[in-house]
């Protein structure tokens, strides 16, 4: 019989561990890549329009960058005829969306995962490039799905090189409406979130160092429950993790979207303003945090209620069924379900083939535009 104290302990442990083991590292990566997108957006469009034949390769590279921003940016470019249909295909195949940040955070905490995580990115990139180039070579477009093998007249998937019209993707993307309670929660609470996350990142790095040397404070008590004494270092760190997750959930709830965190409007804001880049980096990381907590809770309660351990769960994650399920989950629009799949790999439950199948089949948030 599961007691209420066990349920509370699992909830608190999942919240703390999600923040200290994943969120703080994800936040650093999200901020870095968001800044890179902000700094290069104005020059990117002119460059990709001048490289027509290489567009599927460029699209795959944009897709493989962590997060959904690179993939979402390609959608209005295709709508305006500036990139090929093969570019869209290569971008969507290559992208791992926000779930890529979960893998990166896991690799930072566990260096043994670096090799497999690099490999799955390379596989997604190569598969995306091959399919993108193939689609353009055959002349496949939405109006001509069989391309050169169909009976319809071929519509070129390569746009004309329009050099007369200046186009900035930031001008074509919509903006969020600066009104409402949810908007204020995010735009006024992000500084507190970044402050807690910065402190959490310092302690997370220290925990890795302490773990490698066999030292450090006790985050848990002898009975397995969490140390919540704020006057001890271990208890203080636990409270940082809980507070960070609490703020993340509050920001996530303010987004009013369960499965996706990025939209054309949010990308437009991020590319226009460095302040908005910082705000939406907090928002994006909070989205990841929520789904990581959900994944942790699913795993922990599965073991608690089912009377099984991680070895039993891992046995189900290495077969053909797991590969098919992971691929099917990838077809669900949005990054939320994909984050659960990636977390299951980080936790040693899903095998590498399942990771690859999900990475290739998912489109992140880029499918919504």
Mind listing the pLDDT tens digit for each residue in 12-21? Answer: 998 998 899 8
Average pLDDT, the chain: 82
Residue partners of 97: CB distance under 8 A and separation at least 6: 67, 68, 71, 335, 338, 362, 363, 364, 365, 366
Quote the pLDDT of residue 175: 60
- C-beta separation of 95 from 359 below 8 A: no
Residue 355 has pLDDT above 90, yes or no: yes
Buried b (16+ CB within 10 A) or exposed e, 73-92: bbbbbbebebbbbbbbbbbb
The mean pLDDT value for 8-30 works out to 88
Which segment, 71-80, 84-93, 146-155, is predicted with the most confidence on average? 84-93
Span 313-324, pLDDT tens digits: 566 677 888 899
Q: Give me the percent of the chain exceeding a pLDDT of 70.
A: 82
Q: pTM above 0.75?
A: no
Residue 148 pLDDT greater than 50, yes or no: yes
C-alpha–C-alpha distance, residues 173 and 171, integer Å: 6
Number of H helices and E strands in the chain, helices first, is 16, 0
What DSSP letter does each residue of 150-186 carry, written as one string? SSSPPPPSSPP---SS---HHHHS------SHHHHHH
Per-residue pLDDT at 241: 95
Q: What local confidence, expressed as pLDDT, does residue 40 receive?
A: 72
């Amino acid at each position: 019989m599961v007691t209420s104290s066990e349920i509370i302990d699992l909830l608190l442990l999942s919240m703390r561990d999600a923040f200290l083991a994943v969120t703080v590292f994800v936040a650093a990566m999200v901020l870095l890549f968001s800044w890179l997108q902000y700094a290069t957006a104005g020059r990117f469009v002119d460059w990709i329009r001048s490289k027509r034949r290489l567009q599927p390769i460029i699209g795959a590279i944009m897709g493989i960058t962590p997060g959904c921003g690179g993939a979402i940016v390609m959608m209005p470019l295709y709508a305006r005829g500036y990139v090929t249909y093969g570019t869209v295909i290569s971008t969507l195949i290559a992208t791992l969306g926000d779930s890529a940040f979960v893998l990166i955070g896991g690799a930072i905490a566990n260096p043994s995962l670096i090799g497999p995580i690099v490999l799955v990115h390379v596989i997604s990139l190569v598969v995306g490039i091959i399919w993108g180039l193939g689609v353009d070579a055959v002349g496949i477009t939405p109006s001509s799905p069989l391309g050169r093998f169909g009976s319809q007249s071929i519509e070129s998937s390569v746009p004309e090189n329009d050099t007369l019209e200046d186009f900035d993707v930031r001008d074509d993307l919509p903006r969020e409406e600066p009104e409402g309670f949810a908007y204020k929660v995010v735009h006024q609470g992000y500084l507190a979130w970044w402050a807690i996350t910065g402190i959490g990142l310092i302690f997370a790095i220290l925990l890795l160092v302490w773990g490698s040397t066999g030292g450090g404070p006790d985050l848990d008590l002898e009975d397995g429950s969490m140390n919540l004494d704020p006057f001890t270092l271990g208890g203080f760190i636990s409270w940082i993790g809980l507070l960070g997750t609490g703020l993340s959930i509050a920001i996530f709830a303010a987004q009013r979207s369960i499965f996706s965190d990025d939209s054309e409007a949010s990308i437009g804001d991020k590319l226009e303003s460095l302040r908005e880049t910082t705000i939406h980096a907090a928002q994006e990381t909070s989205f990841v945090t929520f789904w990581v907590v959900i994944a942790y809770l699913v795993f922990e309660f599965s073991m608690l209620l089912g009377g099984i351990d991680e070895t039993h769960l891992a046995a189900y994650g290495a077969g053909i069924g797991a590969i098919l399920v992971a691929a099917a989950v990838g077809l669900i629009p949005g990054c939320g379900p994909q984050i659960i799949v990636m977390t299951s790999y980080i936790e040693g439950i899903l095998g590498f083939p399942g990771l690859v199948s999900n990475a290739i089949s998912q489109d992140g948030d880029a499918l919504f535009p």
